Structure 1
Amino acid sequence: MFNTNDIALLMALPGESQGLFEKENINVHYTGIGKVNAAMVAMDVIQKTKCKVIINLGTAGSSKFPTHDLVEVSTFVQRDMDISPLGFKVGETPFDPIPGAIELIPFFPELSQGVCGTGDSFETGTPKVPCELVDMEGYALAKVCRKMGVQLVSLKYITDGADHNAHNDWEANLVLGAKKLLEYYKKMVK
């Protein structure tokens, strides 16, 4: 378990918490949508709070994991970084010392583990980079945490199948997701 003084909780949008965390007086830092917003907020939170651990809770789509599953991210990759015409692998940022795949330390052995592909698009097809779930902020958080020496734990509630109906399913499953994420947050923090 982590001490509350050592952690910061980041979520993309208030819709993902459904106000449940605030009702429990849990401080949530919302990043907004996308990699740039997530990176800016993560850097700001780390500098201001001096946290040792960022807990990232949120939603994701997946064509592998069933809707309503809670998945712990084992690795983040960038699904929309494509400089392949210049000879680089899809998902790899050229000349960057931080790898295109950032592995995390597992926290919940009972949860399914998955590779999460992050991109600045709402994925409804097959990502160019192999991954089992998709989001829009995680890789940026992982990269900032790696650079700043902060541990990242990320849990994703699967709201949709990352398909043509993803936008409808995502909204319909937010409340169930927030309840499950809150339950697991309480297991991490004392």
Structure 2
Amino acid sequence: MFNTNDLALLMALPGESQGLFEKENFTVHYTGIGKVNAAMVATDIIHKTKCKVILNLGTAGSSKFKTHELVEVSSFVQRDMDITPLGFARGETPFDPLPGAIELIPYFPELPKGVCGTGDNFETGKTAVPCDLVDMEGYAIAKVCRRLGVQFISLKYITDGANSDAHKDWEANLISGAHKLIEYYRKILVK
């Protein structure tokens, strides 16, 4: 469990919290959508708060996990990084000292684990880089945390099947996701 002074909570959008976190006076830092926004906010929050842990709570699509399931991310990959014409593996950032997959230390043994593919598009089909669930911010936050020596924990509520109905399902399942995410946020805090 962590003290709120050591922990910073990041979510992509206020829609993912549905105001539940604010009602309990929990501080949420919203990154906005996409890898660039997520990296900028994560860097800023780490420097401003001097946190030791970033907790990323959010939503994701998945063709592997069931809708309404909560998944702890075991590693992040970039599903939209493609420099294959130059001989690099899909998902690999050329000349980067960090690996293409950023592994995380598990925190919640009771939750299923999955590889999350991050990309700057709302995925509605099969990804080019193998992964179990998809988001738009996590890899960037994981990379910032790894470079700056901050522990990173990420939980994703599965709102949709990452298919042609994903945009409708995502919106319809935000409130149930927010309830599940705040339940786990309370578990991580020191009582």
Describe the SS at the equivalent of 1:4: coil
2:180 is paired with a residue whose SS is: helix
1:79 alignment partner in structure 2:
79
Give the match for residue 139 of structure 1: 139
The residue number in structure 2 matching 1:172 is 172
> 1:158 aligns to what SS in structure 2?
strand
Runs of 4+ aligned residues of structure 1 deviating over 4 Å after TM superposition are: none
Q: Secondary structure at the match of 2:48?
A: helix
Residue ranges of structure 1 left out of the alignment (5+ in a row)? none
Q: CA deviation at 1:66?
A: 0.2
Residue 122 of structure 2 is aligned to residue 122 of structure 1: yes
Within 1, Cα distance between the matches of 2:102 and 2:108?
18
Following superposition, the deviation at residue 140 of structure 1 comes to: 0.1
Q: Which residue matches 2:25? A: 25
In the alignment, which residue of structure 2 is the partner of 1:107?
A: 107
Counterparts of 1:170 and 1:111 in 2: how far apart (Å)? 21
SS in 1 for 2:5: helix
Aligned equivalent of 1:152: 152
Query: What is the aligned partner in structure 2 of residue 94 from structure 1?
Result: 94
Query: How many residues are matched?
Result: 190
Structure 2: gaps of 5 or more residues: none
Q: Distance in 1 between matches of 2:23 and 2:87?
A: 50
Write the distance in 1 (CA, Å) between the matches of 2:14 and 2:123.
Answer: 21
Q: Deviations over 1:86-130 (max 9, x none)?
A: 100000000000111000000001000000000000000101000
* TM-score, normalising length: structure 2: 0.99
Output the CA distance in 2 between the equivalents of 1:146 and 1:81. 19
Q: What TM-score comes out, normalization by structure 1 length?
A: 1.00
Report the CA distance between 1:3 and its aligned residue.
Answer: 1.1
1:24, 1:100 → 2: CA distance? 37
Residue in 2 aligned with 1:39? 39
Deviation at 1:133, TM superposition (A): 0.1
Cα displacement string for residues 130-185 of structure 1 (whole angstroms, at most 9, x for unaligned residues): 00000000000000000000000000000000000000000000000000000000
